[in-house]
Structure 1
Amino acid sequence: MTDPNREVLERLWPTDGVLALSAEDEHALRAEDYVLEMPQSGERLVGRDTMRALQSAYPNPPSIEIQRIDGEGDHFVVLGRSDYGGDIYYVANVVEFRDGRIARETRIYGSPFEAPAWRAPYTS
């Protein structure tokens, strides 16, 4: 049996990169008291209407390539790569559900960097 919350995430961020949800459909996936936190910038958005307003105002939304979705029940981690018009960031998104809707997200972004040479013998 497929986890219904995982299905929500797969609809929101399909691994094939083709977004199929309208803004209204996406809005409905979030709880009314939804919270989004981005610790690296100190941003905290409260309320799904606030998130929708942010999305509406966004001048050039990034493309997102989902690499992995892990978890079950009410807790998931989504790993991906975002392209903000040539600026690449990797994202780890901790997603918490309540009553079948996304209640909280914590998104942590990082820039790619060259691995130190000393680690080369240990990687594949």
Structure 2
Amino acid sequence: MESIRAAIEEHWRASESGEIEAEHAIYAEDAILDYPQSGERFRGRTTIAAQRGGHPADRHFTVLRIVGSGDLWVSECIITYDGVPTHSISIMEFAGESVVHETQYFAAPFPAPESRAALAEPS
């Protein structure tokens, strides 16, 4: 379990530093990456790396937390594209030491409604 957590941490570290090969070492050769909000599926480590490597934005990754056990792990991150933060959830399914399926969800921040102001505290 510690080796999987370490692999995930290395994945996000390499993502932040732009090390494409190290970023994608976590994926099985035939891994699948799904983006449900855009309806896209990317099949294979090479294809996953190519679509990320061609991203035109200046990207930065801040990991808020990593939780999981066994074959299922979740990373909560803030990914900043050209200075604009986007919250992201990455659900990684492992077979052995490699990701075989990842699903990523993205959400833009939004202002809190006034009606909850008395109940909420800043996070």
What TM-score do the two structures reach when normalised by structure 2?
A: 0.86
- Per the alignment, residue 6 of structure 1 pairs with 5
Amino acid at match of 1:113: F
Judge which range, 23-32 or 37-46, deviates more: 23-32
1:29 aligns with 2:26: yes
Question: 1:53-92, CA deviations, whole angstroms, 9 ceiling, x for partnerless residues?
Answer: 2233223351111111111121111111111102321101
How far apart, CA to CA, are the structure 2 residues paired with 1:18 and 1:50? 16
Judge which range, 40-49 or 5-14, deviates more: 5-14
Matches within 5 A, 1:14-53: 14=13, 19=16, 22-53=19-50
> Runs of 5+ in structure 2 lacking a partner?
none
1:88 aligns with 2:73: no
How far apart, CA to CA, are the structure 1 residues paired with 2:9 and 2:109? 25
How far apart, CA to CA, are the structure 1 residues paired with 2:66 and 2:110? 23
CA contact (8 A) 2:16 2:60 kept: no
Amino acid at match of 1:31: A
What TM-score do the two structures reach when normalised by structure 1?
A: 0.85
- Per the alignment, residue 104 of structure 2 pairs with 107
- Per the alignment, residue 122 of structure 1 pairs with 119
- Per the alignment, residue 74 of structure 1 pairs with 71
How far apart, CA to CA, are the structure 2 residues paired with 1:79 and 1:87? 17
Judge which range, 57-66 or 77-86, deviates more: 57-66
The structural deviation recorded for 1:19 is 4.1
Question: Identity of counterpart residues, as a percentage?
Answer: 33
Q: RMSD of aligned C-alpha atoms?
A: 2.1
Secondary structure (helix, strand or coil) at the match of 1:121 reads coil
Amino acid at match of 2:3: P
Judged with a 3 Å threshold, the aligned counterparts in structure 2 of structure 1 residues 20 and 73 are, in CA distance, closer, same or farther, namely farther
